[in-house]
Amino acid sequence: MELTRLQRDTGGRTTRDREPGTLSVHVVADASDRRDLRELREFRELYAAGSPTAAPPPVWDGYDEEALLLLCRDGDRPVGALRLTRHWAEHGELLPYFPELPDVLRAEPVGFASIGRVLLAPTHRASADVAAALFHAGGTWCAGTTPLRRYASAVLPSVVRFHRLFGARVSRGPVPAPGLRDGLVLMTGTLRATAERTAGWLTARRWALVDTAPPVPPAVWRRT
């Protein structure tokens, strides 16, 4: 199901082959979205080989079952992916790296969103457009359909500047992580602010955004 469609305003000029003219962000809601699900798995498997970790994460794990899974396409070709999971102060995928999370986000009794599994095709890493499209779609969806206000993400120090660009700030780290020479940094942000910040970024980059009606979130996301 499509969440967001982006069309680049070229001002009448012809774009370069590498410069996408249309991006779309789809939510892989469940196994009924067979094409999206297949392409997401294949995309993860293809680019897991380029993961900076010594042991790349599994293509699929238990958190995927109740996650918001996003797939970004340039035309018909998958070029980016992102996962949002609901994280509680005492339970979630970030706790093994940041056991102090209950203190960092104690003021969020409904929990928060965890953004992870961000993957970009090598052809689309030169700019932040695809990442911005994914963060915009995820932030817009969560802020509009769930009780969550904030999010957290464990990132490599080398990409901290991109997350700052989208409105996040460094909360902890870097901390040691298996297989990562430089460790991980905990970034936190506000979902609505990130949705607005990325919309501004994309508009400045001549992208016209259309946010479609979001799907009904799974029960785990609606629970307060």
CATH of the domain at 110: 3.40.630.30
How many distinct structural domains can be found in the chain? Answer: 1
Asked whether the bond before 174 is cis by omega within 30 degrees of 0, the reply is yes
One pLDDT digit (tens) per residue for the chain, 224 residues: 777 888 887 555 544 444 557 899 988 865 556 788 889 989 988 876 554 444 456 778 888 888 889 999 998 899 999 999 988 877 788 888 888 776 766 667 788 899 998 999 988 888 889 999 999 999 998 888 888 999 999 999 988 998 999 999 998 889 888 778 888 999 999 999 999 999 999 999 899 988 776 666 666 666 66
Q: Report whether 43 contacts 71 (CB < 8 A).
A: yes
Q: Report whether 119 contacts 78 (CB < 8 A).
A: no
Domain that holds residue 208: 2-222
Two tokens, residue 55: 């042991």
pLDDT score for 54: 40
Give me the residue label for tokens 């506000």. 190
For 149, counting Cβ atoms within 10 Å of its Cβ (0-12 exposed, 13-18 middle, 19+ buried), the class is middle
Phi, psi of 31 (to 5 degrees): -65, -15
d(C-alpha 208, C-alpha 4), whole Å: 10
Query: DSSP label at 215?
Result: P
Kindly list the distances between the CA atom of residue 112 and the CA atoms of 3, 64, 172, 223, in Å, as whole numbers in the listed order.
Answer: 21, 16, 16, 12
d(C-alpha 112, C-alpha 110), whole Å: 7
pLDDT score for 84: 92
Two tokens, residue 37: 């699900």
The DSSP annotation for 22-47 comes to EEEEEEE-STT-HHHHHHHHHHHHHH
Residue 58's contacts (CB-CB under 8 Å, 6 or more residues apart) are none
pLDDT score for 129: 92
pTM of the model: 0.87
The beta strands (E) that lie in the chain are given as 2-8, 22-28, 68-74, 77-87, 112-120, 150-155, 169-177, 180-190, 207-211
